[in-house]
A and B are shown apart, each in its own frame.
Chain A
């Protein structure tokens, strides 16, 4: 009995090479998606357009304003001395935040009284709003504690030097600058690899059904497992090539540090690719139409990888029932591995539960396909 798998692999490879669309789908699209999303999705809030209404116009109020203006977080676009017309600035979206200093600001402070500073925030973008509020309160708190210290130093009952102050010195591990690309790029790599792997496999099989070559193929002595291996092998290697592309882009273009072992990264990527190819294969046992295969691979891979993997929303804050479904999303495990290898530089000794989960998922889905895949026309 001669080997039938090799002619199948050779034929599939020729399809890939001759069809620029499949090469674009496999190698071009991930790059485009990664660059597009890598620049578009950022949770960093910087340069918030800001207006300040200074009704006091004193040394103190100007000091406060200069602190706000000199931080990276705010872009001081309007400096006004009355409230008239400020509503329009928010309405028209020209500013996201308005800080209003009352006319009695420096008087109250010199009398050692509380003084209110109003902060108007555009809450229609709640994420930016929350971050802006916390930045403003941080600046205001620092400002007021400086004033208190000054007063205490000047006329305090005891010399301030004697009290040991408590300083919080936060040290951020793994991502010291809190760059959100460091967090997003590994997630995007997982999403892109999963979607493309599942889409490519389900489309290539559906295409053979649609043009009728599958009918010819199943009338030959080729066995189902031979057809599956012949179909998947070229796409597996294409997937590995694609993985190297996205890793290169992540590390060189987006400067995500790669602290762990590259070989280990490729081994786990292989497992993850096997999950994606398996899902694609499973879809192709359900439908023989390219259009439906395309839609199903979007629904069963893109959305879960985005929403249920912990990429954007942390799994720990999901309701119990939703959290249950996240265990069925391979991207969830791969994401932990990617962030672990890229940012933390950890290896198999810590990441083994994820690796085992990916292995189980891949074997189960491919076994399920082998059972379901009946090579006949029904």
Chain B
């Protein structure tokens, strides 16, 4: 069963085509990585899938709802962590959790239970009343993730989630993602860190708004390189080279 089905999704800003007719699907419980350089169309794709940006043409079905027809329904079943750190810095840890819990309509008892869970998950116990701006990068990022999964969404969208996080926090973060995936949450994550996307079940490499390679890390390596111990970086480079050749 597929959580996300994308069909010919296109987004143009004026004459610039940010996403150029991409099609792919993501299975339920899968960790799907979107790999590409800056400006390749990763954030634009994620925003369209979250129902906050209208596609120019094409469509996608997220959790059974069409992004152009029922964005309100989609917003109830997804969690979204955008590229910038977007919790309220002038609110305390607890106030941020209460706010996002309230806006997702959690009942007080569920909210308290989930709050405890998030505080434990993010290692923030005892810091309930700290202002969010005083937290360090790793904590902030786990708190953003916590606020995005308070309402236990079916699908989680993460846009460059580990961009400003130290390696240890990054490892903890990925452990958490695996746990979520094992519990059945679909995770759609963008990144430009090669080593990081390696942990995904499947990867799409996006370049100039087009998907130029798609598959599991292992499959991609054998498809694009002949070396034994090749890395995703090799895959990435040869995929782009092949794309450039095709254009000519």
A positions within 8 Å CB-CB of B: 1-2, 4, 6-8, 10-11, 14-15, 18-19, 211-213, 215-223, 375-378
Contact = CB atoms under 8 A, between A and B. Distances in A.
Nearest to A18: B90
Given A220-B75, A221-B75, A376-B53, A4 B84 contact: no
Contact of A221 (B72, B91, B98, B107): B72
Given A14-B95, A221-B72, A377-B53, A215 B103 contact: no
Given A218-B52, A219-B80, A212 B103 contact: no
Contacts of A1: 105
A11 B132 CA distance: 14
A376 B54 contact: yes
B86 A211 contact: yes
B84 A212 contact: yes
A334 to B, nearest CB: 33
B54 A222 contact: no
B102 A7 contact: yes
A373 B127 CA distance: 37
A19 B91 CA distance: 11
B100 interface: yes
Contacts of B51: 219
Contact of B47 (A2, A11, A375, A377): A377
A220 B91 CA distance: 18
Contacts of B86: 211-213, 215-216
Interface residues of B, number: 32
Nearest to A219: B80
A315 B100 CA distance: 50
B51 to A, nearest CB: 7
30 contacts: A2-B102, A2-B107, A4-B102, A4-B105, A6-B102, A7-B98, A7-B101, A7-B102, A7-B103, A8-B103, A10-B99, A11-B91, A11-B95, A15-B88, A18-B91, A19-B90, A213-B86, A213-B87, A215-B82, A218-B52, A219-B50, A219-B51, A219-B80, A219-B82, A220-B75, A220-B100, A220-B104, A221-B72, A221-B104, A223-B72
B99 A7 contact: yes
A375 B104 CA distance: 17
A375 B47 CA distance: 12
A223 B107 CA distance: 19
Given A215-B82, A216-B82, A221 B105 contact: yes
Nearest to A7: B102
B107 A11 contact: no
A215 B88 CA distance: 12
A212 B82 contact: yes
Interface string B67-92: 00000100110101011111111110
Contacts of A213: 86-88
A219 B53 contact: no
